[in-house]
Amino acid sequence: MKQRRTRESGAPPVATMDARAFTLLSLTVLCAIVAHAAHLPVWYIAPLAAIIVARWWRRRRRRGRVSGWSRAAMLLATALAVFAKYQTPFGPDPGAAIVCGLLVLKLLESETVRDARMAVGFSCFTLMTVLLFDQALVMTLVVGLMLLPALATLRALEPGLPESGWLAAFRPGSALLLASLPLTLLGFLLIPRLATPLWGSPNQGMARSGISDRMAPGDLHSLLNDNSVAMRVGFDGEPPAADQRYFRGMVLWRFDGREWTPGFAARRPGPDAPLAQRGDLVRYQVTLLPSHQHWLFALDVPIAAPRDAQLGPDRTLLASKPVDQTLRYNVTSAVDYRLHPDRLPPGLRRWALELPAGYDPRARALAKDWRAKAGNDDAAVIRDALTLFHTGGFVYALDVPPLGRNSIDDFLFNTRTGFCEHYASAFTFLMRAAGIPARVVVGYQGGYWNNVAHYLLVRQSNAHAWTEVWLQGRGWVRIDPTAVVSTIEMADAGGDNGAPIGGSIGGWWLPWQNRMDIINRWWSQSIINFDALSQSHLFRPFGVNRTDAQTLGIALAIVMFLGLGIGALLASLKPREKPRDALAAAQLRLQKRLARAGVVRGHAEGPGDYYERSARAMPSAAPMLRALSTEYLLLRYAHSEPPPERVRDFVRQVRRLRPSRVL
């Protein structure tokens, strides 16, 4: 490290970073920032990354901290950007944004070794916070690999790193990570777990499922392009047919001219909707990923509510608290049924026919024309509407033009392009205008069936909306108008979606993601969901039904003592002198060469006396030996941290010395 005197007289020199150490530090900070790119806005992450690169480029030409005014301006810009985006400094997302900004600010003022070590610790903390947002296997591996630059930076800050020290800087960190895996597994299994996490701040981020209780044209667009996992479903026996994989979420009754909402009808008091079961029941277990919402999803339709949930009047499921952690629940559903078949109460009929005044006159006129032709035949009206969507030039696409005030008219007679929510909204409107009770249902449809692990993988891109119409003697009947559209302007890359139209545009890699999800499922079940209850059953295969904290502590102590004992035994069987650093390694190499030449160092002989005796015994090498002796004593005893440039020069001189054997 470069040495510079502090302003105070008599103060010891302060070591500054060399170019290699600062490059590794910049890489460490950049890794910590980029790791947060998945949940922080691009317009925030990109400038931070640019500032890191600019700081590295500037430092290559001129050493020294960035000016205080520049750092103060960046601090103010960070605060303003976070407040403009989140309107609060509290919560995981704004907290992560603030931490990333402060980390880059620390890099701007890092110049000494002490600054660098603090920045490395700060980077590791920032990197670990990524796991608060995503604990999947891939992200965990990424975070682990991104620790390597931090460990390499700490190695580069040590004195005496050889000139060809890039690999030498990364090698110790890689070895440490590999050596830490058994200890990590031991701590993961045996350190007693808390029932709740250490951090208690509620997650104020957006719902990961993205499905909300409101539906307007374009609201599902982001979901249909999102291939992240929504839930996994395992069945007791064979799964239902592909055309029966409709997972009911919410029922939307009220339409205000633009968006559908549940309305009072969905929250009405009273008994559940009467259900006439037909066929066998389907029993299954759902593993729902965090959505931060109350609603659960079940095959259409659930028979009863699982534990800690309630069954709504429209056969929808609501959890007692938001789903902030991965939730497992068992459900029994009837996929062949009649819902409310006998009679629709007047109040429900009125809500199922309600339309806002002054909106979409052309759609109303079209529905009335169908009704006039069909008379009392509701099925004929439904056929006319489905025929319109099939042969009327409609296109299923995610890139849709915007709609005006009369959104239904614009869609039916102008754009004729949309995805599931456009078709479900327009079809429900037409049914109501024709006098047929109708409502919108949102949830998921389809999924990828994994034949190896026997579970159904449902992604966010499987989000779907469909319509239920009420017919006399049949009750609420599910109709999916999106499925009849004949023209599709997108590739169904989702594998087995269970429907003619798939919502996702995942590229060629999505089928491979579906097949490899079995690893993510194992990771979620075995690692992420390993809680205090799972730990209490850890020794059940050995006859211990319930393991308490004392038993875990005893097991941990036994394993640690065994490991230490084995390590001590191995160390005693093969003793080996290891130098502390590059300077000590070079000195030891020189000492061995002199010993092979015939001059062996005595046990109580100091390095200066030893090299002087060697110089007298080897006149041809005496000048170089005396120079090496002087340089070694200065590097070892005149500096708190020897300058790396002089250490590298000492190493080169030792390599060049080839002493002749003493007679």
Distance in angstroms (rounded) separating the CA atoms of residues 437 and 349: 6
Instruction: Tell me which range, 11-25, 57-71, 97-111, 372-386, is most confidently predicted by mean pLDDT.
Output: 372-386
Q: How far is residue 579 CA from its own chain's centroid?
A: 42
DSSP letter, residue 358: T
Same domain (yes/no): 484, 589: no
* pLDDT level of residue 220 (50, 70, 90 thresholds): low
Same domain (yes/no): 347, 483: yes
- The yes-or-no verdict on residue 576 having pLDDT over 70 is no
| Domain membership flag for residue 204 | no
Query: Among 190, 210, 232, where does a domain finish?
Result: 190
Same domain (yes/no): 504, 599: no
Same domain (yes/no): 639, 499: no
- The yes-or-no verdict on residue 11 having pLDDT over 50 is no
- The pLDDT of residue 428 is 95
Same domain (yes/no): 239, 318: yes
Same domain (yes/no): 120, 249: no
Same domain (yes/no): 239, 167: no
| Domain membership flag for residue 636 | yes
| Domain membership flag for residue 550 | no
| Domain membership flag for residue 533 | no
Calculate ∠ Cα 146-149-153, nearest 5°: 150
420 tagged catalytic: yes
In contact, 17 and 157? CB cutoff 8 Å? yes
What is the CB-side half-sphere exposure of residue 546 using CA atoms within 13 A?
Answer: 3
| Domain membership flag for residue 40 | yes
Higher pLDDT, 140 or 221: 140
464 tagged catalytic: yes
- The pLDDT of residue 66 is 83
CA quadruple 309, 312, 317, 319: dihedral sign: negative
Q: Which residues have C-beta within 8 Å of that of residue 562, sequence separation ≥ 6?
A: none
Same domain (yes/no): 15, 105: yes
Query: Among 501, 517, 533, where does a domain finish?
Result: 517
Same domain (yes/no): 7, 145: yes
Query: Torsions phi, psi of 445, nearest 5?
Result: -140, 135
| Domain membership flag for residue 413 | no
Same domain (yes/no): 133, 183: yes
Please give the residue range of the domain that contains residue 257. 221-355+435-517
* pLDDT level of residue 204 (50, 70, 90 thresholds): very low
* pLDDT level of residue 235 (50, 70, 90 thresholds): very high
Give long-range contacts, CB 8 A cutoff, 24+ apart: 522-530.
Answer: 523/136, 523/137, 523/140, 524/136, 524/287, 524/326, 525/287, 527/135, 527/137, 527/188, 528/135, 528/326, 529/326, 530/188, 530/193
- The yes-or-no verdict on residue 625 having pLDDT over 70 is yes
3-class secondary-structure state, position 155 = helix
- The yes-or-no verdict on residue 152 having pLDDT over 90 is no
| Domain membership flag for residue 370 | no
Stretch among 317-326, 426-435, 514-523, 609-618 having the lowest mean pLDDT: 514-523
- The pLDDT of residue 638 is 80
Query: Among 517, 540, 555, where does a domain finish?
Result: 517
For range 29-54, the mean pLDDT:
90
* pLDDT level of residue 279 (50, 70, 90 thresholds): confident
* pLDDT level of residue 245 (50, 70, 90 thresholds): very high
Same domain (yes/no): 35, 147: yes
| Domain membership flag for residue 141 | yes
Options 420, 422, 496, 517, the catalytic residue: 420
Options 272, 378, 480, 496, the catalytic residue: 480
- The yes-or-no verdict on residue 161 having pLDDT over 60 is no
100 tagged catalytic: no
Stretch among 5-14, 442-451, 589-598 having the lowest mean pLDDT: 5-14
Tell me the pLDDT tens digit for each residue of 525-575: 666 666 666 667 677 777 667 777 777 777 778 888 887 888 778 777 765
Distance in angstroms (rounded) separating the CA atoms of residues 645 and 162: 9
Q: Is 21 exposed, middle or buried (0-12, 13-18, 19+ CB in 10 A)?
A: buried
* pLDDT level of residue 201 (50, 70, 90 thresholds): very low
- The yes-or-no verdict on residue 496 having pLDDT over 50 is no
- The pLDDT of residue 277 is 86
What average pLDDT does the chain have?
82
The number of folded domains in the chain is 3
Stretch among 15-19, 110-114, 491-495 having the lowest mean pLDDT: 491-495
For range 217-225, the mean pLDDT:
64
Distance in angstroms (rounded) separating the CA atoms of residues 277 and 125: 55
Written as one string, the DSSP assignment of 614-655 is HHHH-GGGHHHHHHHHHHHHHHHHS-SS--HHHHHHHHHHHH
- The yes-or-no verdict on residue 637 having pLDDT over 90 is no
In contact, 21 and 117? CB cutoff 8 Å? no
- The yes-or-no verdict on residue 424 having pLDDT over 90 is yes
- The pLDDT of residue 445 is 92
Calculate ∠ Cα 329-334-340, nearest 5°: 115
Same domain (yes/no): 60, 148: yes
Tell me the pLDDT tens digit for each residue of 306-348: 988 999 889 999 998 888 888 889 999 999 898 888 888 888 9
